[in-house]
Amino acid sequence: MALSYLASSSSRSNLLKPLSAALSCTPSFRRPISSAADDTRTLTIETSIPFTAHQCEPPSRSVDTTPKELLTFFRDMATMRRMEIAADSLYKAKLIRGFCHLYDGQEAVAVGMETAITKKDSIITAYRDHCIFLSRGGTLLEIFSELMGRQGGCSKGKGGSMHFYKKEAGFYGGHGIVGAQVPLGVGLAFAQKYSKDGTVAFALYGDGAANQGQLFEALNIAALWDLPAILVCENNHYGMGTAEWRAAKSPAYYKRGDYVPGLKVDGMDVLAVKQACKFAKEHALKNGPLILEMDTYRYHGHSMSDPGSTYRTRDEISGVRQERDPVERVRKLLLSHDLATEKELKDMEKEIRKEVDVAIAQAKESPMPEPYELFTNVYVKGLGVEAFGPDRKEVRALLP
Amino acid sequence: MAAVFQGLGAATALSVSNSLDSRKFLVSSRKSLSERKASFLVVRSDGRVVPRSNARGRRAEQLITNAVATKPDSSAASTTSKPGHELLLFEALREGLEEEMDRDPHVCVMGEDVGHYGGSYKVTKGLADKYGDLRVLDTPIAENSFTGMGIGAAMTGLRPIIEGMNMGFLLLAFNQISNNCGMLHYTSGGQFKIPVVIRGPGGVGRQLGAEHSQRLESYFQSIPGIQMVACSTPYNAKGLMKAAIRSENPVILFEHVLLYNLKERIPDEEYICSLEEAEMVRPGEHVTILTYSRMRYHVMQAAKTLVNKGYDPEVIDIRSLKPFDLYTIGNSVKKTHRVLIVEECMRTGGIGASLTAAITENFHDYLDAPIVCLSSQDVPTPYAGTLEEWTVVQPAQIVTAVEKLCQ
């Protein structure tokens, strides 16, 4: 398929374009991690590329951060990376069934967003939700239990990979149907405006979902009533198996809001994401909705049943991994600013790996849901309706 | 037989848990009983365990009695007319809506033309002036997204009432209603409640054409996690509206385009109808006629003819389309042993089809004859008046069916 190869090679160069800004890599005196972990002096670091704005003023390229924050970034993203890779092996071992959509490569979006907001702000996303659930306060055990369908999972094993929710942390899921979460996200923003909370709602969707009609309907509604909704397009350039240039006439997703301002962000740079989300929150509270396009990339295929290499080349994937990997970028920052040594970071990764393994082992031991759980939570405070199995003899349960 | 008031059949007993001062409006108790002067019992069912046992057994737990008897064709003479006020069905809906909006600031309405225009069937007239634009929200014509928006808002604790200008338009929001509304409570392991009310007029009107005459109850009935109710009189319209708003589950309230101008006298005091109960319209001995919404009136018309011919039909307005009130229905079947279902849904896959299956499975031993189900024809509703008439069930057909059934 010569055409696709040519196109992908050109798009590959696009993907590789945002290289890190000049990082000082001269090794000098390095402080131990423990002191950097508590260090809260401000470092100002420039994002990899400037922001591109549509109908608004872009925020500055210089982002304030602290060593402590950078270390947290590294730890969180490394945990997410490790978790997704572990989920990959679990899926291949048939412990996770059905659909499993992995987020590795896109961790910077989850981590950067979480840093810029509070737990009172809401996030809603589609099915690629494991890492966002983690960043919103979920535990590894809950995640793996839910993925394996155990009752200790965040949705009691009844939701699965695509239905993670954490109400008390403002994480509204976890939705299987492409694009359907965006009107829900606008509804969250509506409720926030209704109760005058001073909080915002982030509705995440992908470049594939960006072509859904309900998105534009929701955008119209949000802009009409100045709802504090921020629509975040996680543009990983492939909607399932179709490249963005083959699905969208205009792949400039941040501009597609037309009258709604937009911002294009390097989604592999966690500091850029943080800056953009902070800017977006301020903007949304004052002026209404905003679109953020996060230019990011996923290493895995769309889901575990997709090898991910039939519509893109392995060179492209490894190219992005070498040049733009979010975890590596933070590692380089930490090393170059003498905030940690190589060994310390490696140790941290080993520790994370162990944590993940422990969580998986625990989740494997945990029990499957009880049979009566088939009928619980269908209705709230049930109706006293009796429920039967198909032969009307077994598994009778009175809905609580 | 014009009965002024109606207790339930012999098998039940009244249980009075709290006596309620009818003036008390802040009713927070689960089970309440308010009594009107003319011994008109109105009971609100609680959301808790309600024994909905089938014919096989009854638990002696808390009971719900329902006793509603309004004669739809002679409302002026039936209930003692001094207390209460007369109004039309759409006004009753509005009254219910207004009372609930007064009571709970989280209740809001959204839909097309509900605000400044006052609602295409005047159900929300005047509410925007009273409550403001945010609580009575005029949405753009985007059913999919504003239904989704309502559901998203409900996830955080608001209680929106989503109006579809015509039920048929909600087909555009089917994904939101099925996946996000019905299933979210389950897939989130109980974390999120979706207390929305989705309402709108449906059914065959006066030559509105095929696309505006749809009966969506048949499409929605399989969605797990939602409740469906159909109102038919001003009394139950107001009661069901209030119950639906207070329910923590998503409720779809089916109104009918042709019933909005029905007039009836309803009580002044606050009352709520149970969402899961059927209404005994006319007790009888020979045959059980199950119906809902507009067909109730066709059935009552046929009942007059039948009575003249010597039959004694028992007419039940099932009201609750999901779940079925198999308790009331079962008791009736045990008494009469013959069932006729009259509905406005299509023959294939309609409410009647499900009800036939449910009754056959549960009460097969009590039936003396196969269940007859009269439904609308499996055709798109034609525009021409005469053809449209023959799409839906007419009283004459009901009479014939009863006669055949009772042979």
Q: What is the pLDDT of residue B78?
A: 46
Q: What is the pLDDT of residue A383?
A: 54
Q: Is residue B388 part of a domain?
A: yes
Task: Please tell me the distance from the alpha carbon of residue B351 to that of residue B373, in angstroms, as a whole number.
Answer: 10
Mean pLDDT of chain A: 87
Is B95 in the active site? no
Of B51, B189, B227, the CB nearest to A158: B189
Is residue A379 predicted with pLDDT exceeding 80?
A: yes
Q: Which ipTM value was assigned to this complex?
A: 0.81
Reduced to 3 states, what is the DSSP secondary structure of residue A242? strand
Same-domain check for residues B360 and B245: no
Q: What is the pLDDT of residue B9?
A: 33
Q: What is the average pLDDT across A249-270?
A: 93
Same-domain check for residues B303 and B190: no
Q: Given pLDDT bands bounded at 50, 70 and 90, which one contains residue A15?
A: low
Single-letter amino acid, residue B30: R
Same-domain check for residues B115 and B239: yes
Boundary of a domain, candidates B273, B289, B313: B273
Q: What is the pLDDT of residue B11?
A: 34
Q: What is the pLDDT of residue A186?
A: 96
Look at strands B85-88 and B263-266 and give their pairing. antiparallel
Indicate which residue of B91, B99, B143, B163 is catalytic: B143
Same-domain check for residues B258 and B169: yes
Domain containing B245 — which CATH number?
3.40.50.970
Q: Which residues of B touch A193 (CB under 8 A)?
A: 134
Residue written as token pair 């977006």: A280
Cβ(B159)–Cβ(B104) under 8 Å?
yes
Length reported for chain B = 407
Q: Do A183 and B187 touch (CB under 8 A)?
A: no
Q: What is the average pLDDT across A293-301?
A: 94
Size of the A and B interface in Cβ pairs below 8 Å: 169
Can you list the positions of beta strands (E) in B133-226? 136-138, 159-163, 197-202
Q: What is the pLDDT of residue A31?
A: 58
Q: Which residues of A touch B139 (CB under 8 A)?
A: 221
Q: Given pLDDT bands bounded at 50, 70 and 90, which one contains residue A382?
A: low
Q: What is the pLDDT of residue B360?
A: 93
> Structurally, how many domains does chain B consist of?
2
Indicate which residue of B95, B100, B212, B343 is catalytic: B212
Tell me if chain B has a CB within 8 Å of the CB of A199: no
Q: What is the pLDDT of residue A372?
A: 84
A312-331: pLDDT as tens digits: 999 999 999 999 999 999 99
Picking from A203-212, A383-392, B157-166, B373-382, which range would have the lowest pLDDT averaged per residue? A383-392
Same-domain check for residues B268 and B300: no
Reduced to 3 states, what is the DSSP secondary structure of residue B369? coil
pTM of full prediction above 0.90 = no
Site from B48, B149, B321 to mutate, A interface, most A CB atoms within 10 angstroms: B149
Candidates B202, B265, B203, B201; CA nearest to B233 is B265
Domain containing B336 — which CATH number?
3.40.50.920
Tell me if chain B has a CB within 8 Å of the CB of A396: no
Q: Do A384 and B227 touch (CB under 8 A)?
A: no
Q: Is residue B18 part of a domain?
A: no
CATH value of A43-368 in 3.40.50.970, 3.40.640.10, 3.40.350.10, 3.40.50.11260: 3.40.50.970
User: Tens digit of pLDDT per residue, chain B (407 long)?
Assistant: 333 333 333 333 333 333 333 343 333 333 333 333 332 333 333 333 334 333 333 333 333 333 343 334 444 444 455 688 999 999 999 999 999 999 999 999 999 999 999 888 999 999 999 999 889 999 999 999 999 999 999 999 999 999 999 999 999 999 999 999 989 999 998 899 999 999 999 999 889 988 899 999 999 999 998 999 999 999 999 999 999 999 999 999 999 999 999 999 999 988 888 888 899 999 999 999 999 999 999 999 999 999 999 999 999 999 999 889 999 999 999 999 999 999 999 999 999 999 999 999 999 999 999 999 999 999 999 999 899 999 999 999 999 999 999 88
Same-domain check for residues B175 and B269: yes
What does residue A232 show for φ and ψ, rounded to 5 degrees? Answer: -115, 115
Boundary of a domain, candidates B220, B238, B273: B273
Counting residues of chain A whose pLDDT is more than 90, the rounded percentage is 72
Q: Is residue B311 part of a domain?
A: yes
Task: Please tell me the distance from the alpha carbon of residue B113 to that of residue B119, in angstroms, as a whole number.
Answer: 5
Picking from A178-182, A387-391, B174-178, B396-400, which range would have the lowest pLDDT averaged per residue? A387-391
Q: Given pLDDT bands bounded at 50, 70 and 90, which one contains residue A395?
A: very low
Is residue A22 predicted with pLDDT exceeding 90?
A: no
State the residue range of the domain holding B143: 40-51+60-66+77-273
Q: Which residues of B touch A220 (CB under 8 A)?
A: 140, 142, 145
Same-domain check for residues B372 and B319: yes
Tell me if chain B has a CB within 8 Å of the CB of A214: yes
Same-domain check for residues B244 and B283: no
- Residue B374, strand partner residues: B342
Within 13 Å and on the Cβ side, how many CA atoms surround B226?
Answer: 28
Is B35 in the active site? no
Same-domain check for residues B243 and B187: yes
Q: Is residue B2 part of a domain?
A: no
